[in-house]
């Protein structure tokens, strides 16, 4: 049986999962592929820590370059993370014409176009299933399963940490900071949580999905990003009363005016399948012009789920290598039309901090009205005359630019006690 | 650009959808594939009816064999349905070494092994994404996306007609017969509904999924099949009170004792993602030993959704043909171990029709107890002394054979007014 040699860079959590997966199901993969995936080199700076999985010491090296150049290595798997070194290693492998499998969304978001271009030049390919949605085969679904479709929209819950925090805030009616701390203690959030809770990780994945769906590199700078720090337990329960659940969504839409890509907390109707995605799970709703709505759900992170995706890419890469098949490029154009964030139109939920006295709401309504924003409903849950109380306003649809202008004005009003919190509402009507 | 010639057999609903899809997104497919999919022949007995899509009359023929043999046809698409003729045509194409794309689950369930074997002999392949789950790329997900996983279980809502009927029965509290009639009038159910409502269509799809997941042909005779005719509006509302929704599920599980495959109405906990799948939508929950739970959701039928899957298969077939890549066989073994239905263990919901008088329930409890079945809860909603009333019993787990023996005994009791309705409960604990 033909053997394909693998050089694995990064023996961390996911790397150990890949080694473990190969040991557990290597025989099954052989049967299914008619090929043997053989681990030939394993590079990491730390050769000594116990990863809970056996690895042949003779394969190990501290020198990634050595693993990449090894003539017995046919495919390079990059799992070291980070941007600078990872990019250098991937470039080295591609320069040698070796296909690369990577889970590195941060790198793809920053330099995906450059790396895909280099791969095409060198007549090889970059595989990246594990970069979005962990074990969910979402890249394959969009790229191959829906290949006949123009992708009209993608809505994704793509960060397990944020979804876990929002789920616990709802279930236990606790504030963000407290749930974040518990999540950090439980190992569901990093000590430095910004990458997750401020939306950057979701934005990296949005860039990967948007670029794939539309065939041109969507830059990070084109993605509007907001995280979940400003969401209060109150917002979650007010939203619930109105029939919504708050989720951090990546939204990618193709409209007449180009592609829009944004990441922000969003009110999702309770009955919508995305509202039912709880805890660390991820889900992606992909709509195509022929197929309609499709949804994909599973574990978005973790050693084993991510390893499953890396191994699926290895299988594809090995089959392609063995048959000489070349995948057509992911990016078909240098650039494409992007819709500026100011033009996007949504309904919004506003939490205003207003002085509890007559006539105050009229000032707010006037400021909104001057920018063409009309109010659908108002809810005031407390009364404390002469003090600031939360007032919840749900608006009809209006452009982003109108909201910004109106809220800048409102937040300058003397009767406003704190900056207004605005959360977009998604009703999933095209 | 390289052109791949397509011969389409069957210009019915899905066939017209495929022609329409090629017209709508042919240019996009070309860009994505670096190949042109060219419709070269179109065979149907009816050349005159208007399908709402333009087709070049010069490509059309009443003779499927002519389309198959045409040297300009590289890939044959079988969309005529039925078993005898379709099988003959697929065999003809495979004999010529031409890859075949089919949506025909009934044929695959009956003769999949034979056709896959012939394809392998002739060094070509049979593609069947459209046979299960309509536009959901579920075959690709199981075969490629989860290739590194032993598939531990598959739970599918695979028949849109049944799911539509159950959803409307619940929403409108109407009996089966009435909703079926409305569904027939609305075009959601066939005039001859047995294939759908008696579970056979779901069983065909279960056979396709089970054979793919486990690598050996699972015969139809190994699948236990029950439909939804015996479900009453009462069952649906009793189940709802207990926190469940009733779904027609295909269940495929890999246990120590082999593979079990069954199709039956099932009580699914409200909070489970499958419970949220309503109307004509399909969903499949696939669990792998590495990835854990993954779920796939979308339109399970219809002209455009199914065409999306056929076109995805055409893209794969064209890429394989163009590169000379050969897919490893779907079936790796001639046969495998199947678990007899009598051995499967579930909890059950029982709706008994019992004479309303003291001591009757004790007789039922004794009959269950003698077969080792213990009762978790009992609910009697009505009292009509001296008459038969529905009594709902939820049991703990017991083997199928015990239920059959106990119910045979119970249904012979004089105090029982009608055969007991039994619905299995699935708690999704492995």
Using pLDDT thresholds of 50, 70 and 90, give the confidence band for residue A255.
Answer: confident
Q: What is the pLDDT of residue B255?
A: 84
Would you call A312 and B144 a contact, using CB atoms and an 8 Å cutoff? yes
| A57, A340 contact by CB (below 8 A) | no
CA B135 to chain centre: 13
Tokens matching residue B191: 């005039």
A307 touches chain B (CB under 8 A): yes
What percent of chain A lies above the pLDDT cut of 90? 94
A58 touches chain B (CB under 8 A): no
- Which tens digits make up the pLDDT trace of B58-85? 999 999 999 999 999 999 999 999 999 9
CB < 8 Å to A324, chain B: 323-325
B121 touches chain A (CB under 8 A): no
A30 touches chain B (CB under 8 A): no
Say if residue A202's pLDDT is above 70. yes
- Which tens digits make up the pLDDT trace of B3-44? 999 999 999 999 999 999 999 999 999 999 999 999 999 999
Across chain B, mean pLDDT equals 96
- How far off is chain A from B279, nearest CA to CA, in Å? 13
A120 touches chain B (CB under 8 A): no
Multiple choice CATH, B138-298, 3.40.50.2300, 3.40.50.10470, 3.40.30.10, 3.30.360.10:
3.30.360.10
Q: Which of B205, B247, B253, B371 is catalytic?
A: B205
Say if residue A104's pLDDT is above 80. yes
Say if residue A14's pLDDT is above 90. yes
Give the chain B residue whose CA is nearest to the CA of A141.
Answer: B137
Q: What is the pLDDT of residue B429?
A: 74
* Residue from B290, B301, B318, B333 to probe the interface with A (highest A Cβ count within 10 Å): B290
Say if residue B151's pLDDT is above 90. yes
Multiple choice CATH, B3-134+303-323, 3.30.300.30, 3.90.340.10, 3.40.50.720, 3.40.140.10:
3.40.50.720
Would you call A292 and B135 a contact, using CB atoms and an 8 Å cutoff? yes
Range with the lowest mean pLDDT among A137-151, A374-388, B366-380?
Answer: A374-388
Q: What is the pLDDT of residue A430?
A: 56
Would you call B28 and A150 a contact, using CB atoms and an 8 Å cutoff? yes
CB < 8 Å to B323, chain A: 323-326
Would you call A325 and B323 a contact, using CB atoms and an 8 Å cutoff? yes
B59 touches chain A (CB under 8 A): no
Give the chain B residue whose CA is nearest to the CA of A147.
Answer: B312
CB < 8 Å to A323, chain B: 323-326
Say if residue A406's pLDDT is above 70. yes
A147 touches chain B (CB under 8 A): yes
List Cβ neighbours of A290 (8 Å cut-off, separation of 6 or more): A148, A149, A150, B21, B24, B25, B135, B304, B305, B307, B308, B311
Q: What is the pLDDT of residue B382?
A: 86
Q: What is the pLDDT of residue A429?
A: 74
Provide the H-helix boundaries in B74-159: 84-95, 105-121, 138-140
- B52: enclosing H helix or E strand: none
Using pLDDT thresholds of 50, 70 and 90, give the confidence band for residue B430.
Answer: low
State residue A100 phi and psi, 5-degree precision: -125, 135
Bigger pLDDT: B94 vs A255 = B94
Mean pLDDT of A347-360: 95
Residues of A designated as active site = 205
DSSP string, A211-275: HHHHTS---GGGEEE--STT--HHHHHHHHHTTEEEEEEEEEEEETTEEEEEEEEEEEETTSGGG
Coil/strand/helix, residue B60: strand
B32 touches chain A (CB under 8 A): yes
Would you call B141 and A141 a contact, using CB atoms and an 8 Å cutoff? yes
Q: What is the pLDDT of residue B381?
A: 82
- Which tens digits make up the pLDDT trace of B259-304? 999 999 999 999 899 999 999 999 999 999 999 999 999 999 999 9
CA distance linking residue B238 with residue B244, whole number of Å? 9
Maximum separation of any 2 CA atoms in chain A, in Å: 82
- Which tens digits make up the pLDDT trace of B131-144? 999 999 999 999 99
CA distance linking residue A48 with residue B426, whole number of Å? 45
Residues 324-343 of B with CB under 8 A from A: 324-326, 328, 332
Report, in angstroms and rounded to the nearest whole number, the Rg of chain A calculated over CA atoms: 24
Using pLDDT thresholds of 50, 70 and 90, give the confidence band for residue A381.
Answer: confident
B297 touches chain A (CB under 8 A): yes
Would you call B289 and A25 a contact, using CB atoms and an 8 Å cutoff? yes
Answer yes or no: pTM beyond 0.95.
Answer: yes
List Cβ neighbours of B330 (8 Å cut-off, separation of 6 or more): B116, B126, B143, B211, B212, B215
CA distance linking residue A136 with residue B141, whole number of Å? 9
What percent of chain B lies above the pLDDT cut of 90? 94
Say if residue B350's pLDDT is above 70. yes
Residues 190-249 of B with CB under 8 A from A: 215
List Cβ neighbours of B171 (8 Å cut-off, separation of 6 or more): none
Strand A345-355 relative to strand A398-399, pairing: antiparallel
Q: Which of A136, A311, A315 sits opposite B294 (nearest CB)?
A: A136
B150 touches chain A (CB under 8 A): yes
Mean pLDDT of B199-224: 98
Provide the H-helix boundaries in B292-419: 303-323, 360-370, 400-410
The domains of chain A are located at: 3-134+303-323, 138-298, 341-425
Say if residue A257's pLDDT is above 90. no
| B273, A276 contact by CB (below 8 A) | yes
By CB neighbour count within 10 A (0-12 exposed, 13-18 middle, 19+ buried), where does A185 fall?
Answer: exposed
Coil/strand/helix, residue A342: helix
CB < 8 Å to A140, chain B: 137, 140-141, 144-145
Tell me how far apart the terminal alpha carbons of chain A are, to the nearest angstrom. 51
CB < 8 Å to A319, chain B: 325
Cβ neighbour number for residue A14 with a 10 Å cutoff? 26
Q: What is the pLDDT of residue B135?
A: 97
Residues 268-287 of B with CB under 8 A from A: 271, 273, 276-277
Would you call B148 and A332 a contact, using CB atoms and an 8 Å cutoff? no
Residues 358-417 of A with CB under 8 A from B: none
Tokens matching residue A168: 């616990």
Would you call B291 and A298 a contact, using CB atoms and an 8 Å cutoff? yes
CB < 8 Å to B320, chain A: 325
Mean pLDDT of B216-230: 97
Whether domain A341-425 has CATH 3.40.50.300: the reply is: no
A27 touches chain B (CB under 8 A): no
DSSP string, B140-161: HIIIIITTTS-EEEEEEE--HH
């Amino acid at each position: 049986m033909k053997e394909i040699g693998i050089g694995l860079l990064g023996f961390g959590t996911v790397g150990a999962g890949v080694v473990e997966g190969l040991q557990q199901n290597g025989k099954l993969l052989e049967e299914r592929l008619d090929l043997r995936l053989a681990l030939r080199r394993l590079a990491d700076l730390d050769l000594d820590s116990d990863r809970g999985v056996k690895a042949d010491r003779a394969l190990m090296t501290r020198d990634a370059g050595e693993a990449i150049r090894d003539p017995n290595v046919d495919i390079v798997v990059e799992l070291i993370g980070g941007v600078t070194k990872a990019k250098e290693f991937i470039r080295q492998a591609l320069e040698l014409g070796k296909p690369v499998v990577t889970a590195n969304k941060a790198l793809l978001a920053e330099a995906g176009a450059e790396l895909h271009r280099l791969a095409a030049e060198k007549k090889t390919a970059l595989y990246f299933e594990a970069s979005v949605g962990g074990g969910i085969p979402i890249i394959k679904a969009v790229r191959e399963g829906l290949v006949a479709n123009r992708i009209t929209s993608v809505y994704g819950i793509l960060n397990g940490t944020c979804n876990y925090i929002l789920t616990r805030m709802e279930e236990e009616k606790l504030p963000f900071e407290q749930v974040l701390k518990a999540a950090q203690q439980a190992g569901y959030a990093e000590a430095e949580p910004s990458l997750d809770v401020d939306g950057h990780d979701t934005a990296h994945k949005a860039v990967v999905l948007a670029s794939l769906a539309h065939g041109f590199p969507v830059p990070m700078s084109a993605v509007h990003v907001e995280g979940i720090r400003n969401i209060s337990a109150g917002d979650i329960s007010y939203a619930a009363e109105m029939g919504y659940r708050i989720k951090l969504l990546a939204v990618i839409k193709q409209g007449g005016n180009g592609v829009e890509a944004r990441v922000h907390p969003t009110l999702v109707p309770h009955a919508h399948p995305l509202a039912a995605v709880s805890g660390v799970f991820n889900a992606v709703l992909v709509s195509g012009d022929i197929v309609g709505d499709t949804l994909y759900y599973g574990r978005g992170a973790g050693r084993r789920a991510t390893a499953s995706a890396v191994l699926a890419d290895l299988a594809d890469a090995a089959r392609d290598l063995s048959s000489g098949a070349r995948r057509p490029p992911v990016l078909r154009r240098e650039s494409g039309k992007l819709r500026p964030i100011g033009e996007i139109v949504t309904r919004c939920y506003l939490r205003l901090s207003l002085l509890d006295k007559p006539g105050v709401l009229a000032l707010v309504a006037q400021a909104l009205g001057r920018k063409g924003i009309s109010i659908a409903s108002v809810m005031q849950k407390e009364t404390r005359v002469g003090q600031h109380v939360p007032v919840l306003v749900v608006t009809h649809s209006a452009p982003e630019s109108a909201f910004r202008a109106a809220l800048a004005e409102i937040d300058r009003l003397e009767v406003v006690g704190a900056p207004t919190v605005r959360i977009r509402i998604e009703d999933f009507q095209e």
